[in-house]
Every structure is written in structure tokens, then in C-alpha cells.
Structure 1
Amino acid sequence: MATRGVTYGNTHRPSLTCPNLHVHRPRRNADDTDNARPPRYHGRPSLGRAPIAGCKIHRPGENDAVALIGAGVPLHECLAAAEQLAEVGIAARVIDLYSVKPLERAMLIETCRATEGRLVVVQDHYPQGGISGEVMEALADAELDELHVTLLGVNGLPMSGQPAEPLDAAGIFARHIVAAARKLTEVREWTPTIRPTNPPGNHA
């Protein structure tokens, strides 16, 4: 997909490659086999190529009840959450929204129609701005019958720890996504709902 001007995307994923960007280090010599191994993120496999200006849809189905949207680190939590939801009979598609400019608006609208407007947007920073803001802006004037959105973001001071610990403390771990998705799937009657799970606060 050709684009003009500046594009913005989340490159914090070990598998992102495109014609103008490659995040893996170059091979040092003919015996260097490190790059031959599939890249992994905290023990999880690579997600393949991600061209500039686009998105990826994982686990799409005809009976999807909810969509989980993330990019970078939260994407992997969304994928783990989708697997857990499948175990209890809830079909969830996962949107890798790695490109926010340009944004795949048509895909978001189609996703809303497929899931009766149920979205969980996950970002690894404060609730203000980020992909959640881009998603809501893209859907602001869309002709949708229903829209139920839960925003999961960081609402506290950063902490150090093992990879899973900061995510869990921030409320953006897979289990938090599962809980948000299960709550959304309980929605039956149309009520426009936008719930910041972590209400914005003042951050110095």
C-alpha cells in the first residue's frame, strides 16, 4: 500500500518487517545462525510481516462476539486473551492495529458490524491519546447501530519487574482483557457505552 507523507506505527514487535524497515540485526558472517531462528517475544512466536500502512486481523470468524484491539506488547496479551475466551465459548477476533496513520477505518467499521460494536482497546500507556483515541475518532461519525467500547490503559506509575508483572500491575494483562471482553458480551440491549476501565487522572 503506497502512502504519502509521514506515517505512524508501533514497531515494538519482533516480527515487524517491511521494505524500508527491518528490526532484526544484520547477519555478522556466514556462520551467524541467530537470525535463522524464528523471533520470539517472551516465549511467543513471531507474527510475520507487517507492511507500513495496514493492520492484521487474527482469528476472524463469522460468529465473533467481541474484538480485541492492540499493538506492540498488548497485542500478545490480546492473542492470549482470545485463546482463553475461546475456552469458554466466546469467539474473539484480534486486531493488530500497528499503523495509526494511516488507519484502516473501513476495517474498524466492518469489525464493529461483525461484533455488534463490542471492542476492547488495549494500550500500554496512559488512557489519554494513543490508539484508543484514534479508534474513537475513526468511529465518531460511522453509521453503526451499536457501539460498546472498553479502554484498557495504564493508570499508575511505572514499575520494574519480570515481563508479566508490570502488565498485570497496570491492568492490561490477558486476564484483564478477558474480564473486559466477558463483561461486554453480556450487553444485550443497545446502550452506547464507552468505559475507561482505568479512569484518567493527573500524572506529574
Structure 2
Amino acid sequence: MADVKKIATRDSYGNTLKELAAEGHDDLVVLDADLAAATKTGMFQKAYPDRHFDCGIAEGNMVGVAAGLAAMGYVPFVSSFAMFAAGRAFEQVRNSVGYPHLNVKIGATHGGISVGEDGASHQCCEDFALMRSIPGMTVICPADDIEARAAVRAAYAMEGPVYLRFGRLAVPVFHDEANYHFELGKGEQLTEGNDIAIIATGLMVNEARMAAEQLAAEGIHARVINIHTIKPLDEEIVIKAAKECGKVITAEEHNVIGGLGEAVCAVLSEKQPTPVRRVGVQDVFGCSGPAWDLLKKFGLDAATICKTAHEMLGK
């Protein structure tokens, strides 16, 4: 996997917005909060300056402007760091977008611990929990460039509010574009196996794939499932994995409270009681440092997934 091309999903976001506009989608507009270079909406701004609005460091106001544009028939993509898009502007997202169920898309970059040197104040590990709690909000966290591009297109095509989380860190591109099909609300099984299921989202999907390779070398066959749409969750694939594997690990670059792990536990506790262990940020704040070092420090890696599998299987 060392030779695999790596691309940050924030780049995928900026590129796809520009592609959609070039394809004649004249209702698409982009809003940013003084971070166009970092969120990569600067690509769109350069090509379509009349359809890009820099609202300054006023994220709540930006969401309100987007709500107004959506009410006029436009499809606005609101862009900022996850900490500001989901955190600082939560009230406006809830009341101005979620409550009237407006067609606003939130492109939140720099999610999770992998923001790295920016530190705890910018490492948003609460955004899934916040956005999942808003009725009618679709929550997406793509795993690589190909999936991220497809997710942006799917968000544009659907009616209603969408939260998309993108990363700062360049991550491996493991999907084959020619054979990949993205469907909102549908998980993707990446490996065969009935010994244990690993259900992952975002950059943790590739870590799950690497963990499965290591486990396979030890004679443990892990089923890896990619959940790009955290809400609505693909309950069918989760329940099937629980029934056939008997034990489940969830893996996410998010607090174990309120994210994918809790979504999976909620479904299984009601419909298929199954032992579950949650790999994620263990209810702590992050800290500043190189992204890959931090992911290892906080247990967001293949080694931690393997260790968890061994513990669950008694090996």
C-alpha cells in the first residue's frame, strides 16, 4: 500500500465543485468563510468568481446567507473547517437549514485529529454527533478521493441538507474509479470474513483494510465494511455483519461518543445484540503534532484495530 497514490479529500471537494459548474449546473454556488485556500474552494473561486461568496470570519452569517440562496432555488455549498461549520455555526445550521429542510450542503474540511499541528481547538471530533442530531440531516464522511468526488455529486443531486466531512491529510486512494458505485445510505463490503467485522468510516477505512491484511496473515478473517453515509445508516449491512461475524469493531476519527460507533451500537442493541468495541477518540481533546503521529498516539490506526480484534477473539 506504500506506493498507492495519496490525495486529501478536501482537494477532491474543490475539484468536484469546479467540475460540476463546468458541466452546466448553473444553480450551484459556493460560500466560504475566509478559508478558500484551505478548504480548496479557491479552485471554484478562480474559475467562477461571480458564484463564489467569501463571507469572512462569520460562519453563522454565512449559513444564513446560504439558507436564503437555497430558498431562491440555488444549491449552495457552505465551506469551512469542521470545527466552525459544525461547531460555531450549529445554531444556524439547525434553525436556518435543518428546521426548514433547505437544500444547503455543508462542506466541512479539516475534520478530526489529522488536522495535526493546528491543535485541539481545530481538531473537530464532535461533528458527527452534532450533525446526526439534526432531524433530516444527511451525514457523509468519504474514505478516499474517488469516494469523496462521488459524495459531492450525490449531495448536489439530492434534495435536502447534507453535511460532508473532508480531511486535510492526504490519504491513500484505494477505490477503482471504473468499478466504483456510490449510493447514499449504502455501506460497502471491502473484504470477506466471518471471524469479526470491522465497520469504519473516513480515513479509518484504509486502516481497517490494513488491519484485515495483518489479521489474515494470522489466520483471522475480518470483514471490512466502509460506511461513507453515517446518517442514514445502512442498517441492513450492519445487522448482516453482526449476525454472520458475531463480533463488531467500529473505527472512526471522531469521539467514540455520538459518532459511527454509537450509531452502530444503537441499531444492534435493538435488532441484533452483539459485542461491539469502538475504536476512536476516547472522549479526550486532541493536541498539536504531525498528523500520522497523532493518529497513532490516539489509537486511530491499524495496530489498534488489530489489538482490539485480538482482545475480542481472546487471542
State the TM-score, normalized to the length of structure 1: 0.70
Q: Give the Cα–Cα distance (whole angstroms) in 1 for the partners of residues 219 and 138 of structure 2.
A: 38
Alignment partner of 1:127 is 2:256: yes
Q: Specify the code of the residue in structure 1 equivalent to 2:280.
A: G
Alignment partner of 1:52 is 2:179: no
Q: Which residue of 1 aligns with 2:235?
A: 105
Q: Which has the larger radius of gyration?
A: 2
User: Which segment drifts farther, 178-187 or 83-92?
Assistant: 178-187
Q: Specify the code of the residue in structure 2 equivalent to 1:15.
A: I
CA 1:168–1:106: 2 relative to 1, 3 Å:
same
Q: Which has the higher contact order (CA 8 A, sep 6+)?
A: 1
Match of 2:305, SS? helix
Q: Which residue of 1 aligns with 2:204?
A: 74
Which runs of 5 or more residues in structure 2 are unaligned?
1-135, 156-169
Which runs of 5 or more residues in structure 1 are unaligned?
24-40, 188-204
8 Å Cα contact 1:18/1:52 also seen in 2: no
Q: Which residue of 1 aligns with 2:276?
A: 149
Q: 1:55-113 deviations in whole A, cap 9, x for unaligned?
A: 1001124xx20011111111111111000000100000111011122211111111011
Q: Which residue of 2 aligns with 1:175?
A: 303
Q: Specify the code of the residue in structure 1 equivalent to 2:309.
A: A
Q: CA RMSD in A?
A: 2.4
Q: Which residue of 2 aligns with 1:92?
A: 222
CA 1:114–1:153: 2 relative to 1, 3 Å:
same
CA 1:57–1:129: 2 relative to 1, 3 Å:
same
Identity of aligned residues (%): 24
Q: Specify the code of the residue in structure 2 equivalent to 1:67.
A: A
Match of 1:124, SS? strand
Match of 1:153, SS? strand
Q: 1:138-191 deviations in whole A, cap 9, x for unaligned?
A: 1121145xx11111111333234444211101112110100001111129xxxx
Give the Å deviation of 1:22.
7.8
State the TM-score, normalized to the length of structure 2: 0.47
Q: Which residue of 2 aligns with 1:139?
A: 268
Aligned length: 161
Pick the structure with more helix per residue: 2
8 Å Cα contact 1:78/1:174 also seen in 2: yes
CA 1:160–1:15: 2 relative to 1, 3 Å:
farther
Q: Identify the match of residue 7 of structure 1 among 134, 138, 160.
A: 138
